[in-house]
Amino acid sequence: METPAFMPVATRGMMRGVLPAQLEELGSRMVLANAFHLFARPGTELVQKLGGVHGMLAWDGPILTDSGGFQVFSLGALGKVHANGVKVEHPVYGGYVDWTPQLAFETQVGLAPDVAMVLDVCPDAPLDQKKCAAAVERTVTWARVQRDLHDLRGGADSGQAQFGIVQGGVFADLREHCARSLIDLEFDGYAIGGVSVGDGHEAMMHGVEHSAHVLPQDRVRYLMGVGTPAELIESVARGIDIFDCVYPTRAGRFATALTDEGRMHMLNARFKDDTRVLDPGCTCPCCTSGVPRGALRAGFKAKELLPPILLSLHNLYYLHNLMHRMRKAIASGTFGELRQQILRAYLPTKITN
């Protein structure tokens, strides 16, 4: 897979509104699923019977599974983190699951993705140094447990790579300490976590900067949960290789399209009788279908199923194409020009000279 690249998210083992055969046509080369949600439903054993996560997704390309650290944060379970794991409410059946590093590791062995993420602690307050320091300490301790289990299976020779996750909030010393501790464990790749938890663009970029420059250049550097055009291009400028986010499909389901002119919200009244296709010149399935903007707006108003699907397809295509344009711009030495263009459309107050 050429990088920089974007991974669409199939959290529960299925894309929303995107057929498996369409993923490659849109430009996808690697897909993400979530180990904790698949553990919760349909369960690891059933996924194994269905051919592992590849069989469930009907996708023979690379798959990465997240371990559930962000889900612990999003499900409000950070207060139940203990030395050996976290008590998190079962999202399907109620009660609690003791989600430990060992269970996260074993679950991902059963799901059989190509890349498995370690279980980390994603702090809910990236500006709180004390909370971030505690999260780093536990993240590194758990990473060592999971790395030992991975090595016992034969490491990457087992057919599954394992990535460590850098935490530390916005604090340079914590980020660097966490990164260097993970490097000592010699992971197959490295991720940067805890930068997309509502802390704003500036704090996010500080977290990326404090982490990426420490990580080895001969290993993949993965920024978790980031997917707006401005965030992508600014993070690539700071050395990131791969990304994942629900943003393009979620934005599509809520009537927002991504274009080089910025976001287009299709419920806006100005599109009511617009006969143009969504993004003239785009060759995605939405734009080549001939469905005009006015019809997309009317469909969203009527709560039809097709418009959210068409915009999701367009947004995925747009991001994959943007990553392709970044690769070309890096090779040709014109990345700075592309960066300025995207920032003017999506983050005009943050243009970097």
Buried b (16+ CB within 10 A) or exposed e, 108-143: bbbbbbbbbbbbbbbbbebeeeebbbebbbbbbebb
Rounded Cα–Cα distance for residues 305 and 252 (Å): 12
Identify which of 96, 241, 130, 126 has the alpha carbon closest to the alpha carbon of residue 195: 126
Q: CA 277, 325, 200 angle in degrees (round to 5)?
A: 85
Alpha-carbon distances of 331 from 4, 68, 217, 320, 326, rounded to whole Å: 12, 36, 17, 17, 9
Q: Distance between CA 167 and CA 179 in Å, rounded?
A: 8
* Residue of 272, 276, 299 lying closest to 289 (CA atoms): 276
212 exposure class (CB count in 10 Å sphere: 0-12, 13-18, 19+):
buried
CA atoms within 13 A of residue 179's CA, in its CB half-sphere:
26
Q: Distance between CA atoms of 198 and 341, rounded to whole angstroms?
A: 25
Strand-pairing partners, residue 85, are: 82
Tokens read off for 175: 């980020």
Per DSSP bridges, beta strands 31-34 and 85-89 are unpaired
Q: In 3D, which of 91, 66, 96, 92 has the Cα closest to residue 81? A: 96
Please pick, among 66, 120, 241, 279, the residue that the annotation labels catalytic. Answer: 66
Q: At how many degrees (to 10) do helices 201-212 and 172-184 cross?
A: 40
Q: List the catalytic residue out of 114, 173, 199, 244.
A: 244
Residue 188 annotated in active site? no
Q: Write the CB contacts of 159 (distance below 8 Å, at least 6 apart in sequence).
A: 112, 114
66 is catalytic: yes
Catalogue the active-site residues: 66, 244
